[in-house]
Amino acid sequence: EDIGFDSMRPGILQRFPDKSIYEKTKIQHVEVRFSNLCNCKCRICYSSVSSAIASEEKTYGRYNGPILKFAGPTEDFVLNEIKQYTDELEAVTFSGGEPMLHWQHWEFLDHLIANNKKIDLLYYSNGSNITFKGTHITEKWKHFNKILYRVSLDVSGSAVDYWRPGSGADWDTIVNNIRDIKNKSNNVDIVYIITLAWPTLFRIGELLDEIQKINNGNFEFNFNAMWEPKFSIQNLPLDIKQKAREYLESIPLLNKDKCKYITDYMDSADMSNIMPSAINHLKEVDIRRNQSFIEVFPEYNDLAKEYGY
């Protein structure tokens, strides 16, 4: 927050301005993760929140836990818990895994509709799926007043197949899904969440151009600071940080404030000592997926080879 990044705290304070709620036991907003079921193997993710990654890592002996992990002793535990608070809730956030794949998510929407509860719905989604057993999500959303659909996008085009690969998660499908939602609903706000990671840093301008095309003009986007140490933009050597700064400042759709947020965060620490392990990790995953980091991101060809790619 000190360098300008959004966090959950000010968002919640804005949503619930009545300070008396802190003196009550009433639960007004809850974030639910029913399971780690997800169709994507994002490079920035891990097995606890992606069953696809858990499955891959188990195949290669890198993980020995359950592929599908539920948030509770049974797969319907969280669903049954939040149903108890239906009368109290004013908002619910769905995350995952990928919430659109969770049957519990769809059943809870049906439960809210049956009880005529028009609470706010908030999502974190990869944008790859908007139907479940033949039902389009907008058929459910039309029963609610306000939807905030946050779509995680870090790269565009064919680079998606490398950075956020998954069944049905190609760029064209995601674009078509977003346009479909926009065409079929008028109560949905779409916000694009871009996770800052050094491999994708020089693709932000291209991504913003593509998002602008999807929206035929104005759109809202926010940046998420990378929590995975291997991919933090603080890892970049000083010379590449300077190139990144010049690149970011040249992006027309990136205003000065957001540009400064990124560069201040990038310069707030020197973690370049982590780069060798980061490159080794990319190489290891590339081998098992038969992919090539330097083919997809040639701007890092020299850096990758310097550290043994």
pLDDT bracket for residue 5 (50, 70, 90): low
pLDDT tens-digit series, residues 105-135: 999 999 999 999 999 999 999 999 999 999 9
Residue among 60, 21, 28 at smallest CA distance from 41: 60
pLDDT bracket for residue 12 (50, 70, 90): confident
**pLDDT at position 8, please?**
73
**pLDDT at position 3, please?**
63
- Whole-number average pLDDT of the chain: 94
List own/partner pairs for 104-110 with CB under 8 A and 24 or more apart: 104/34, 104/35, 104/75, 104/76, 104/78, 104/79, 105/34, 106/132, 106/133, 106/135, 106/140, 107/79, 108/32, 108/79, 108/82, 108/83, 109/140, 109/143, 110/140
pLDDT reading at 237 higher than 90: yes
Terminal C-alpha separation, the chain: 35
pLDDT bracket for residue 225 (50, 70, 90): confident
